Structure 1
Amino acid sequence: MRVRLQGIVLTLVALLVFGLGIPLATTIAAGAQQDLFLDRLTDTARFASLAQRPLLDNKPWLLEPDVRRYTEVYGVQVVVVDQDGRPVVTSLGPAAARIDLKSERISDPVHEALAGRRSQPAGLLMPWDSTPLVLAEPVLADGEVRGAVLTVSDTGAERADVLWWWLLLAAGGILAFVLALAVAIPVVRWILKPVKRLDDATGALVASVVSGREAEPVGESGGPPELRQLGRSFDRMAESVSGALAAQRAFVADASHQLRNPLTALKIRLGNLEGHVADDVAAADLEAARVDAGRLHQILDGLLSMARAEASGGELDPVVLDEVVAERVADWSVVGEARDVRLVVDAAGDGVRVRMPPRGAETILDALLDNALKFTAAGTDIRIAVEHDGDRVRLSVRDHGPGLPPEELDRALDRFWRSPAHQNVPGSGLGLAIVSELTAHSDGELELDLPEGGGLRVTMTFPAA
């Protein structure tokens, strides 16, 4: 936007400079042409008046002293021709042969003068046009044309004056551009300062709200009053959104925590009833109630984990990823052995570090390994890989289960979503959502893909600490 505003300002200045400069330059050239034309026309008319008597008396040489002196002083060539267009007096003597009376630019004015017509102003005097100014005036005696006086004037001095004026105008235009640029840059920055802060705050708002951190206010950052008011409105909106989401997270966490106690008591009471229900139907209902209570307990645990993941604001801690992977794999290997599933680790082995929320790496691995063990068939393995590539660290967990249809990969990160094909597998549908939340808070990227050989691979890429 800054470039566009500066471009608009410079375009307006350019239009102003050209809109005023071009007519002014044209006026200067026209004025110089007019002054030169009137000056030479007056002299040519004076010589035409002086030539009346010498031409009537057939003594044209009487004019030679005057025209030669005129040429010596002003550098203007003068030629007097008779009624037949033959030169009878020249200001340069034999050197007058330099003037070609047969050339079109000379002969046309002479013919006009011999026809009794006076010279008319020529076009604009342009600095690059070296054509001399040619004027011809008829010599009239008793209303009859007796000849004509021709003057040929070099326009070099006048063209130089026009050129200097034009250069001065160009310098003024460049100076106007420089001044406009010098004024436009700070003014545009002043105007757009709140806009830039709004843009930065908008980009950071989502990350701040999701991570549970307080959004940085835009505040009074200068600029026009309208944009300052927009900044204040944005701060109020961000504060309301942050407050609403914080209240929502607190409610989920508090509700989950408060429900765990009565749910635990319910599970104990259901356990106490075991063996005291003789009716087969009642015993089946009791078992179903125990299963439902277990599922409800699992959902509450997932909600608490999600609430903690969403509220994991503040600074990120450096974590040695290899060590965390080795620790969690050692714990989950017991579950894997019971299900005849091997946990294989392919670690970088160089102590790579990433920055995560407290216990974020453990939570991610627990959720992924729990999911993998649910779906991996006996006799297969789960591969956990840690790769270090420059300033990026990749952590992947790949199982050999049924995987997901390609069209369901995008939905797998939604909360409480479960594939229709896996409805009979215990779970709350929050595991991958928790992993996605913690990965985003760690400035990482999450990707799901279907590797060759079947199964599902979850890959997270983090900046190296």
Structure 2
Amino acid sequence: MNRVAQRLRGLPLRSRLALLVATAVAVAVAVAASVCWFVVQSALVNSLDDALKGTARLPPDVVTRLIDPDGNCRRVVLNPDDPGLFKQVIQIVDRDGNSCVIYGKQSVEVTPADVEVANGKASDATHVATAGNGSKYRVYTYPLTDYRAAVSVARPLSEVDDTLGKLGLILALVAGIGVVGAGAAGLWVARTGLRPVDELTDTVEHVARTEDLTVRIPVEGDDEIARLSASFNSMTASLASSRDLQQQLIADAGHELRTPLTSMRTNIELLTRSEETGRAIPPDDRKALMASLKAQMTELAALIGDLQVLSRTGLAGGDGPLKVVSLHDTVRTAIERARLRGPELTITSDLAPWYVRAEPAALERAIVNLLDNAVKFSPPEGTLEVHLMRGRLTVRDHGPGIPADELPYVFDRFWRSPTARALPGSGLGLSIVARTVESYGGTVGLGAAEGGGTVATVQLPGAPTPPPEVPEEAAGPA
């Protein structure tokens, strides 16, 4: 069996399908032919029995002529001109098991069942016996009660066997044609049904060979093959989009890295030239130069850190598993960090308890980025208003606001408003916020606030109370 299974696995799929179809049809045809053969055999045998019973009863006057006064029977041919002569055998069986043929050419063996009928122990008997010439006969025996004897009527089983032989030949021929036809039909069906799979295979091989993700497979119908084709098209479209985004990220990162690197290179060259030529840079200029280098390194480190967050796979750059996090505590921690960045600002907060399922570090990073953006655009000694109610977090500043035509781009990577080019930042903070919030099933938006400034809105799914399995000390104070 293992060898057969291995050989089957080595065949092409269409060959296996055709072979399986042919095998299934062959088994079905064999079962149907066998059932048909046995049904016909039973019907023919029953018909033969009915014929024997219908013609076996001898009239009383004939019986008196067949048996002498001593109880012995004599061989008598009732109708020598009968065309059925010698096909049917009629013989008398006495109570001792002796027999004499009264019609036919040869005798048929006497069985114990015939003797029981002759002795009145059975009403009749039907069985198969062997004749003197070795042929099989179907025998029906009924009693002659007045003479303590029985009459056995027999006809050759060749009448049934010949018909069954012809039927078997016809069934075998039909079954053979059916199996061959089923194999051919199975091969045709396999080729037709697997044609989309062949097209899909060719397309996959083409994509693997050329890395051309623009190839699409035509989708016809709504069956499993169509769904597979549609899934493949969706996969290649996603891969193409991912590759485009990756290339765009690399291009944008290269563009953003070029500016601080160029500035750092210029400053370092100035310092190197001063050392090589022995011409000292004035203290104030050297101090400004070192401060510029420090600021550029800080900006470069922040940019690289943001790029690492965006390049990570998983939920918004989070490396840990999702946990139940108290959003109000996370916002409170982010507010304390924002106060360090803008000590001159006034930050007011109204935080209602809300628990979400997120990766704690990634969620805190997103909230901190959102507050940093508000701190950066707030005027000196301005006010930030932070409000959290039923999972809706709003951060409102009183800065210059964002023009309406720039709002669609605020969450794009590396995008910065022309009016904010001089401000520190990589243009990735809000992009990280959007990616984080959306990965947890939330939404984020930025819009103009009434009376001036900007209001950022984050909506995260959750509940005002922690789940039962979360300990109170882990959930944090409400």
- Using the size of structure 2 for normalisation, the TM-score is 0.46
When normalised by structure 1's length, the TM-score is: 0.47
Instruction: Say which structure is richer in helix.
Output: 1
